[in-house]
Structure 1
Amino acid sequence: MDDPGHLALGTWSGGRFMHFGEPLDDARLEALLRPDAAIPAVITADTYGTGEADRVLGRALAGTTRDDVWIAGAVGHDFYEGEREGAKGFPRFTDARLRGPEAWSDYLRAAAERSLERIGIDRFDLLMLHNPDRSGYHDPRVWEGMAALKAAGLTDAIGVAPGPANGFTLDLLACLERFGELLDWAMVILNPMEPWPGEYVLPAAAAADVKVITRVVDYGGIFWDDVRPGHPFRDFDHRKFRPEGWIDRGVERLEEMRAIADRHGLTPIQLASQWNLAHPAVEMVVPTLIQEAGPDARPVEDKRAELAATPREVVLSAEEILALRTIGDNAGCMALKGANPDQAEVLTDRWPVDEDLAAAGERWGVVAERDLRHVHA
């Protein structure tokens, strides 16, 4: 599909695989994820449900024409040979406990082929490296393996999807500089209440002609306008790990933003999507579609329809874009993943800033000690 549009669905939606909101039954989840003319793009990852999200997507695609839909996948967590490590999930395929660099390319091909088989398609429109570790960002053998998948016709494009939490700024900047000629897409966290640090990588992506998908557009549900102070979360809901008071502050900021949304006839989630799309390189938004807990919760089907009505052409002025960023400024609000000036030891998702990474940041105006530190809650 040449033009996937500006909106996408994610198989992490619907409460089944990522523990946000109420789990939908099979029929509703498949309907939620079924691409159509309004939202033809769907993004999945092989590790969600250890392959089950792929299978759900395959059933959701029943009755669609392949050339009318755009399917993005993601591989990188080895749930075939690796053992789950609690909340950290499955290890990356580059983990030295699993294999050496000489076997990375073979793993990527096998993972891509298995994911395609579960979905029931013969190629991805985009295949991303999912939640890379340091090797994933910086070792050319990883990206040679990803490029080989494109050359073999298993995917039309390749990209990188940092995560699962926020950060990886310097790593992504360095990755874009080193491998930008190979990369087609990147996926980052961005919304008007979380401009930091995702906004730092957008100029580098634009310079490398790498298109950007933005996720967490909904800011944990605040922009769906049905999460309020005292909101009841199920015990398993990942949003319970957010810092205390985030809902109160988010609702307060949303009220400050609402006048801009009303001025253009936009709902809050449409406003957040428009704000993202106004930034360099951002081509697509993929909010999380959640049905909240309780019998009176707004149906997730209504939210999908609301997202589908989001205008593609940006209607916000430069002044409004800046005003929203000022209201939502979150700089320094958390300890970031990846290269981190406050990190002394090398962990799976965090590592110190070395000279090369610091230099990559400074080439794009990002000074780690000044711009990437956790300075307040």
Structure 2
Amino acid sequence: MDLTRTAYGTWNGGRYMHFGEPLSEERFVEVIQHAYKQGIRTFMTADVYGNGAADEMLGRALTGLPRESYCLIGAIGHDFYKGERAGSKGYPRFTATQTPAEYAGYVRMATEKALARCKTNKFDLLMLHNPDFIGYTSDKVWSAMDKVKDAGLTDRLGIAPGPANGFTLDMLIAFERFGPLLDWAMIILNPLEPWPGCMVLESAVKHDVNLITRVVDYGGLFHDDVKPGHQFGHHDHRTFRPAGWVEAGTAKMEQMREIARFHKLTMLQLACIWNLSQPAVKSVIPTLIQEHGDKAKSIESKVDELASLPDIKLNEDEIRHIAKIGNNKNCMELKGANRAHVGSALPDRWEITKDHELIASKWGIDPDKDIACTHKTEKVP
């Protein structure tokens, strides 16, 4: 089964990623089952979430359902088997803990263990999760991924950059080199964050790579229960966003509400439909958050909004109007290949190489202007 228009990720509910109120184990499973009952048929997990716990919970939630009735996405890449966690930076990529000769063995092992935790024998899509520079460029990495597909452990292959935004030139290189192997890729995209994701859309079309978009909700704002003055928990990942992001985003959303009302959409649905109106975008996987407070929507109601997404497209004027309102170009430091980075490659940031320069020129991208941060921001205290 291929991906459907709407998808559910195991980072939802704050249990394995710090967004809002973490769900109890029982409710976490029940929300996944609720999503299935409401018609969502694509479910994504990553082996590093809870060191395999998210895989297990998803497997538990889907037990007993006809396997052909849903699409299962797995993601591997962080080596929590052999690597040591570096605090908030997480576990190293397997390309840092294994030699190139060991890549194939690691990918096979990680895939088989993830499948066992999910209580199944095959993924519909297996994604390389949060790759480093090697992951975007290494023939040996993608040969290893292709071997698990040949072994029948997955029907499709994909790439899921992250966790932060960027990796624009790296994605373009991956499409160019490994396009024939890639069925899907994941990018960050939403009406308040059209940049930099918009710069890989046409290349995805050219290389026949379908896109699944995450952070569709823009940190929860499109759920409409995060308002100016909202108090985030001490460990909530959103406290790392710049000061004033809620107020600025809310003001921009108000300018989009007329279009939402015209199409009888909630704001989350508008964000999803805007994404699905972009070239190559075939699926949306927003973060569903149980916010703190009595006035917060239930996560189950957010599932309902996503599940009831109507099958419509915005017209070109509406698409452009929303993009103009949400224009965020040059607003942040991006990860991946970036002119601002000098020196040895880090796990999520590295220098621009000659190959990056060539792919940038091919797609009309000026690294010094189009993927550079020119706005100074301050972290939330």
State the partner residue of 2:178: 179
SS at match of 1:369: coil
How many percent identity over aligned positions?
A: 52
Q: Distance in 2 between matches of 1:252 and 1:299?
A: 24
The residue number in structure 2 matching 1:212 is: 211
1:317 corresponds to: 315
Give 1:312 deviation, angstroms: 2.6
Q: Distance in 2 between matches of 1:301 and 1:117?
A: 28
Cα distance in structure 2, aligned partners of 1:40 and 1:151: 25
Alignment of 1:1-377 (within 5 A): 1-2=1-2, 4-34=3-33, 35-36=36-37, 38-95=39-96, 98-314=97-313, 316-345=314-343, 346-376=345-375, 377=377
Return 65-74 or 362-371, whichever deviates more.
362-371
What is the rounded CA distance, in whole Å, between the counterparts of 1:261 and 1:229 in structure 2?
21
Kindly report structure 1 stretches of 4+ aligned residues shifted beyond 4 Å. Answer: none
Quote the offset at 1:131 in angstroms. Answer: 0.2
SS at match of 1:55: helix
Q: Are the equivalent residues in 2 in contact too, given 1:229–1:247 (CA < 8 A)?
A: yes
Please tell me whether the aligned partners of residues 190 and 198 of structure 1 are also in contact (alpha carbons under 8 angstroms): yes
Q: Output the CA distance in 2 between the equivalents of 1:368 and 1:32.
A: 42
Tell me the CA shift for residue 5 of structure 1.
Answer: 1.9
- Alpha-carbon deviation of 1:152? 0.4
Superimposed CA distance per residue, residues 219-245 of structure 1 (whole angstroms, 9 cap, x where no aligned partner): 000100110111011111000000000
* Counterpart amino acid of residue 360 in structure 1: I
Q: Which amino acid aligns with 1:323?
A: H
The two structures have a TM-score, normalised by structure 1, of 0.97
How many residues are matched? 373
Amino acid at match of 2:83: G
Q: Distance in 1 between matches of 2:367 and 2:229?
A: 36
Taking a change above 3 Å as real, the CA distance of residues 70 and 165 of structure 1, as seen in their structure-2 partners, is same
Residue type at the aligned position of 1:328 = G
For 2:199, give the aligned amino acid.
Y
> 2 CA distance for matches of 1:238 and 1:318?
34
d(CA) in 2 for partners of 1:348, 1:124: 27
Alignment partner of 1:128: what SS? Answer: strand
Q: Deviations over 1:96-116 (max 9, x none)?
A: xx2210001100000000000
Structure 2's unaligned 5+ residue stretches are none
Q: Is the contact made by 1:10 and 1:33 (CA closer than 8 Å) also made in structure 2?
A: no
Distance 2:228 2:137 in 1: 42
Q: SS state of the match for residue 94, structure 1?
A: helix
Unpaired runs of 5+ residues, structure 1, are none
Aligned Cα root-mean-square deviation (Å) = 1.0
Amino acid of the structure 2 residue aligned with 1:281: A
Contact 1:203 1:281 in 2 (8 A): yes
Partner Cα separation in structure 1 for residue 310 and residue 352 of structure 2: 40
C-alpha displacement of 1:63 = 2.6
- Which of 247-256 and 30-39 deviates more? 30-39
Alpha-carbon offset, residue 296 of structure 1:
3.4
**Inter-partner Cα distance in structure 2 for 1:113 and 1:62:** 18
Return the offset for 1:362.
Answer: 1.7
In the TM superposition, what whole-angstrom CA distance separates every residue of 1:78-123 from its partner, at most 9, and x where no partner exists? 000000011110000000xx22100011000000000000010000
Query: Contact 1:289–1:300 at 8 Å: present in 2 too?
Result: yes
- What is the letter of the counterpart of residue 69 of structure 1? Y
* Alpha-carbon distance, 1:295 to partner: 3.2
Task: Give the superposition deviation at 1:27.
Answer: 2.2
Deviations 1:127-161 (A, max 9, x none): 00000000000010000000111100000000000
**Secondary structure of the equivalent of 2:368?**
helix
CA separation of 1:171/1:155 partners in 2, compared to 1, >3 Å: closer, same or farther?
A: same
SS across alignment from 1:284: strand
User: What is the one-letter code of the residue matched to 1:85?
Assistant: A
Shift of 1:37: 6.2
Aligned residues of 1:58 and 1:119 also touching (Cα < 8 A): yes
SS at match of 1:20: coil
CA distance in 2, matches of 1:340, 1:114: 35
